[in-house]
Each structure stands twice: as structure tokens, then as C-alpha cells.
Amino acid sequence: MRDWRSDPTFAMCRAVADGADLASFSGGAYDVRAVVAGILPESRRDRSLDAVPWGNFPHGPDVPEAVEHLRADGEPGMDATGVLWGLCANDSRAAAALAVPFLIPLATAPRHPHHTDALGVISGPARARHSGVASREELLLHRTDPARHAPDGDDDYGYEVTGYPAGWSVAASRAAITADTPALLPLLGSLDSAVRVDTAYALAAAADPDRVVRTAQAAGFAAERDAMVRAAFLLATAEITRAHTHPPTAAWLHERWNDRAEAPEVRLVAAIGWLCLTDAPAPEELRRTVDNFADDERAHTMEALPWMSTASGTNEPGLLRCKRLMLHPEDPDSEAIFWDSLF
């Protein structure tokens, strides 16, 4: 990757760091939301990548080659998904967000050889500040609050490592997913369980004021027999509900974790989802349920759920991290212990 300080956007980031109003750059050439909005009305399946100003964004020139390799019918000549995930892991999502509108047509083409790779990647830039986050206050939270943040100002996402506004990258990615919600929804019924999980995760990032996605996730849960996929549908429903309040869903989650006929994986994520949607104290029965089922073996198995894998910390699977932070905050932090041991 090239030095991001040579990108044109660096001047904007420096200006904002020096006190310029971020809103003054809204809608301009360096606003990834505006660029993605200009792509969305078009058919992206065969659109030339050369028409997109990749060079305006940090590490942007690295992205179109990765997208082109995923578009190819044969074996990719590079680790294309690694490039895109690497940008997200390195907290530099803007250019990866710009790729999302081009990846969704691949993700929704089941016969394309790389459709599962594309589906797995589109969720990355749609979430920020989520890696290792497992607390009741922050898990499943979409951090842009219209009641507290101007749409073109600073928000709880802060800034990426390059200085680019992280909330703009997240908003652009979510806008792309929202625009293609009708194309993604059928994948919730895929014969491939991993596709159903990844689709649930992607759609949980969509705007859903009309509850179309929530309804589809709940219907998928009702029809699903695979416990891990049922857990994914449930977590997706909880995440959407945290963004679009719906009290009956919290009551439904309460019923799920309290239902002894449910699989342990489902009861566990229902308990976690319920804790994220309410400020009520954790009932003793919920504590017993989580303590009984959340063992090391199950925690490692549940890392297959992207919510859990992203909540994990050093030497601590996501499920156990959620259990500790939500129900046993007095317990020692294994990640802090690990890092302290290095110094």
C-alpha cells in the first residue's frame, strides 16, 4: 500500500484536524458518501471501475484491482478479499466502502465463483469501532445518532487512522447495502448455511425504517433448523432493533433466552441481544443460562458468527468476552493481562 499522506484527501483531513468545519467538505469530491450515491443509480455489474475516483481516498488505488480480481470468473490472482479486509482491519475503510456497490452484484449472483467472498466482504466497511467491542452499552450499536449528531459533522465513530471521518465510510457502505436490500433478501433462504449467516450480518447494517429486513430475519429464524443460523438471524434482528426501536422485539428476545426448548446457542445470543436492547438489570435466570451454556468449547464454535468473532479479544472468544463484560465486569480482563505480560 502506498503512503496515504500522498492522497488528495490528506489535505482535507489536515484541515479538519486544524479546526476546519467537517461539514464544509460534505458532498464534495472527498466525501465517499457522495461518490457512492452517484454510483448507486447505475448498474454496477459491468460498470468500468475507471470511472470512480479511487485516488481521492486513502489507499484507494489498491482497491479496484482487488474488485476486478473478484469479478473475474477464474481463480483470483491475488488475495482480493485480504486487501479489502486489511483496509478495514487497519481502520482505513473509505476506499473499501467505495467498493461495496460493485461487490453486491457479485454477492447476489449465486453462480459466480466468488460470490461468497464478495458477500463476506461487504459487511466490513459497514461497521467501525466494533472489533473487540462486547459491552452491553456498545455491542450491536450503530453509533450515528441523529438526535445528537449533525449528518455532516462529527459523530461517535470519530476518525480513521488516516484522519478520514469514519462515520462517512460507514454511512456510504450502509447506503449501498440499503439500496440493494431487495437483491440481498433472497439470500436469507440460500441452501448454504454460511451464506445465510453472512447475509443476515450484511442486512443487519441496512437502514430499515419500514421493518422489511427485521420481518425477513424473524421469518428466517422461524423457518430455520440450523441452530447457528438461527442464532445469526436472532442477532441480526437484535442489531436492527437497536437501530430502529421496536419494543415487541425485546420481549420476543426475552422469550427466546427463557425457552428451554431452544438450542443453547440461540438462548445465549437471545440473552445477549436482550441485554443490549434494555437497561433492565439482568435477571438471575438469565445469568444462570449464560453461565451454564457459555463454556470454552461452545465459545470457540460460535466464533463462526461474525458478531462473536468481531467481539473477541486476545485469547478471549467473543461469547466469553460478552459474558464477562455484560455480566461479570469484576472478573479480570484476559486481554489486559496478556498485554501487561509483554512489558
**Phi, psi for residue 316 in degrees, rounded to 5:** -145, 105
Query: What integer pLDDT is reported at residue 46 of this predicted model?
Result: 61
Per-residue pLDDT averaged across 5-9, rounded? 73
pLDDT at 318 over 70: yes
Per-residue pLDDT averaged across 246-261, rounded? 96
Residue that has been written with the C-alpha cell 458477500 in this structure: 119
pTM of the model: 0.91
Query: What integer pLDDT is reported at residue 153 of this predicted model?
Result: 61
Per-residue pLDDT averaged across 109-126, rounded? 92
Looking at the chain, the whole-number percentage of residues with pLDDT higher than 70 is 87
pLDDT at 292 over 70: yes
Band (pLDDT 50/70/90 cuts) for residue 80 is: confident
For residue 305, what are the contacts with CB-CB under 8 A and spacing of at least 6? 197, 228, 231, 232, 235, 269, 318
For the ranges 7-11, 14-18, 49-53, 173-177, the one whose mean pLDDT is highest: 173-177
Q: How far apart, in whole angstroms, are the C-alpha atoms of residue 241 and residue 174? A: 16
Task: Answer for the pair 65, 76: CB distance below 8 angstroms, yes or no.
Answer: no
Q: How far apart, in whole angstroms, are the C-alpha atoms of residue 335 and residue 343? A: 13
Q: What is the pLDDT of residues 173-224, one digit of tens each?
A: 999 999 999 999 999 999 999 999 999 999 999 999 899 999 999 999 999 9
Report which residue type is found at 118. Answer: A
Band (pLDDT 50/70/90 cuts) for residue 335 is: low
Per-residue pLDDT averaged across 28-54, rounded? 83
The string of DSSP codes covering 123-145 is TGGG--S-TT--STTTTT-----
Give the three-state DSSP class for 285.
helix
Band (pLDDT 50/70/90 cuts) for residue 43 is: low
Q: How far apart, in whole angstroms, are the C-alpha atoms of residue 289 and residue 294? A: 8
pLDDT at 122 over 60: yes
Q: What is the mean pLDDT of the chain?
A: 89
Report the sign of the C-alpha dihedral through residues 235, 240, 245, 246, in that order: negative
Per-residue pLDDT averaged across 81-95, rounded? 89
Per-residue pLDDT averaged across 301-307, rounded? 97
pLDDT at 287 over 90: yes
Q: How far apart, in whole angstroms, are the C-alpha atoms of residue 250 and residue 326? A: 17
Nearest by Cα to 199 from 214, 218, 186: 186
Q: What is the pLDDT of residues 139-173, one digit of tens each?
A: 999 876 555 455 666 667 888 988 899 999 999 99
The DSSP letter of residue 261 is T
Query: What integer pLDDT is reported at residue 314 of this predicted model?
Result: 80
